[in-house]
Amino acid sequence: MNYEEGETILVDKPLHWTSFDVVNKLRWNIKQTLGVKKIKVGHAGTLDPLATGLLIICIGKHTKRIDELMVGMKTYTGTILLGKTTPSYDLESEYDQEFPTEHITPELLDQARLQFIGTIQQVPPIFSAKQVDGKRAYDLARAGKAVELKANTIEISSFEISTERFPEVDFIVSCSKGTYIRSIASDFGKALQSGGTLISLRRTMSGGLSIENAKSVEEWIEVIRGTSEITT
């Protein structure tokens, strides 16, 4: 592999790692293996620490491709817990409210699901990296300050659900860049006159690239360490 000329690799991001953790780990190993002080490494689309799955890593001159790689539709699988909410819309924060779920019928679930398909407006979570007056929204939220974010236009091409483990609802969603699955979980709960929290998330596709072709961080480190010299 020619890292300085450019490589694009697919990583299966582990739970609790930030996307930047993956970038840092791979960059350090590449620099050590090649004996260089600098090499560009970046990712095409952030995954939250509580999410796993496909992270596209661009190395060397391929970092110029990051913007184009981020444009494509993305597919996620995961689970929404109905009847409870957290301030972050996921398990980063503690449950703060409980809501009834007894009234939720299969018909109501399907009606709510259909509301999310197509071009819609979505407000990002306050626990997000969105900029508010020059500061990250999550920094303001964690400091207990009021955060108001504007809605973004997103596209959801499909949203399929399984209720076999109700009140946990498993889902598969395909969506555009800029979609917050945590917000879908929260808004889905509200559409059901209840609450919703994202309790697991995995990215399986991004721009036509699949998790099936990804390797773990450890597997990629083994590949990197097997590179003894820069090919020309």
pLDDT digits (tens, 9 = 90+) for 37-74: 999 999 999 999 999 999 999 999 999 999 999 999 99
Q: Picking from 14-28, 50-64, 198-212, 213-227, which range would have the lowest pLDDT averaged per residue? A: 213-227
Q: In the structure, what pLDDT confidence band is assigned to residue 152 with cuts at 50, 70 and 90? A: very high
| Sequence-ordered strand ranges (E) for the chain | 7-13, 41-43, 51-59, 74-82, 84-85, 97-98, 118-122, 131-132, 135-136, 152-162, 168-175, 196-206, 209-210
Report pLDDT for 144: 73
CA distance 197 to 130: 20
Q: pLDDT above 90 covers what percent of the chain? A: 81
Please indicate whether residue 48 is annotated as part of the active site: yes
Q: How many Cα atoms are found within 13 Å in the side-chain-facing hemisphere of 219? A: 10
Among candidates 180, 177, 189, which has minimal Cα distance to 86? Answer: 189
229 pLDDT more than 50: no
**What band does 124 get if pLDDT is binned at 50, 70 and 90?**
confident
Q: From its phi and psi, is residue 109 left (phi > 0), alpha (psi between -120 and 50) or beta?
A: alpha
Torsions phi, psi for 22 (to 5 deg): -65, -45
Catalytic residue among 12, 21, 48, 187: 48
* Inter-residue contact 122 to 133 (CB < 8 Å): no
Instruction: Delineate the domains of the chain, giving CATH numbers in brackets.
Output: 7-71+208-225 (3.30.2350.10), 74-206 (3.30.2350.10)
H runs (alpha helix) in 115-215: 137-142, 181-191
- Across 38-74, b (16+ Cβ under 10 Å) vs e yields ebbbbbbbebbbbbbbbbbbbbbebbeebeebbebbb
> 167, 165, 44: which is closest to 102 by C-alpha?
167
